[in-house]
Amino acid sequence: MALTETAVHDDRGGLGAFSEGLAEAVARAAASVVRVDDGARLTASGTIWSEEGVIVATSHGVERDEELVVVLADGSRHAASLVGRDGDTDIAVLRVDGAAGLPAISRADAASVRVGQVALALGHPGDMGLLATIGIVSSRRDSQTEGHDEYILSTDADLYPGISGGPLVNAEGALLGLLNRMYGRGLGVALGTPLVARVVATLLAHGRIPRGYLGIRTQLVAVPANLKTSLQLAHERGLLVVNVEAESPAEQGGLMLGDTLLSIGGEAVEDVNTLRRHLHAGQTIPVQILRGGTLINVTPTVGSEPA
């Protein structure tokens, strides 16, 4: 079908409106994007989490714990202190000293975040000023941690060096997740807002993430076919204990070097993440193990991970 002059004009108008809408979304979020200077050669991005001066960034982007400076969108420089960091999620929380009324980023409702949505990646790396790239939400991987529904996003928006710690926002400029190139091994990954919120709240309360601790190292192994048959096991895999720390909760609870963990808390152990999900400090958990061709049940009490 041939395009009339009116159709071409309307199409240009639609494209222009879309472009202006994206520019407005970037402008709304831009005030919440900061530069974090820890004195290293490269600076990192950060996102204003609350108007009381709480800044969320990546742990790998904030190498030092002292003499931190946060550069706001207006170019003003402010001393900041490290509240805490979490190595597992690579999140660091800073606080701008004496700040109040900072433009905290708005957050999208988690249920509204869908694959295919337009996604804008924002950062403030080095002296480049605000940096924005565009893509879509390529995937959403949902999980649950200690009763919290969380997600991790992937995006095809380009993540340039120094953009980690900046926000991934939707077409309204609301936060979808915290960008992290390292977490995605160079690919576009954003830790979803609910996950970030949980880690930030815990770091603000405790300065670190208290985790359950048994004191063992394991490796994934296949359950021998002859034992599956003789013991009538449905388990395909288990976790072989390759190290037990002295005087650890695992040792005190009866676990030994060479044991194979088959189930924990009644759930089959398919990988180390299954084990981690059940490690809540202070909780006594039933563990079924395979030891010398015999099924044994032990009940260790989970401790707290040493600082």
Assess whether 271 carries a catalytic annotation. no
Q: Out of 37, 90, 154, 263, which one is annotated catalytic? A: 90
Longest dimension (CA), the chain: 82
- CB 49 within 8 Å of CB 104: yes
Token output for 228: 């599956």
Instruction: For residue 60, give the DSSP letter.
Output: T
Token output for 298: 């032990």
- CA end-to-end distance (rounded Å), the chain: 69
Assess whether 90 carries a catalytic annotation. yes
Q: What is the dihedral of CA 77, 81, 85, 89, to 10 degrees?
A: -20
Q: If DSSP states are collapsed to H, E and C, what string results for 223-271?
A: CCHHHHHHCCCCCCEEEEEEEECCCCHHHHCCCCCCCEEEEECCEECCC
Q: Out of 32, 45, 154, 164, which one is annotated catalytic? A: 164
* Cα–Cα distance measured from residue 159 to residue 180, given in angstroms and rounded to the nearest whole number: 8
Residue of 91, 158, 80 whose CA lies nearest to 122 = 158
Q: Out of 60, 78, 106, 156, which one is annotated catalytic? A: 60
* Residue recorded with tokens 């013991």: 231
- CB 34 within 8 Å of CB 73: yes
Token output for 256: 């030994």
- CB 44 within 8 Å of CB 57: yes
Residue of 194, 210, 191 whose CA lies nearest to 107 = 194
Token output for 178: 């915290």
Instruction: For residue 95, give the DSSP letter.
Output: E
Assess whether 164 carries a catalytic annotation. yes
Catalytic residues: 60, 90, 164
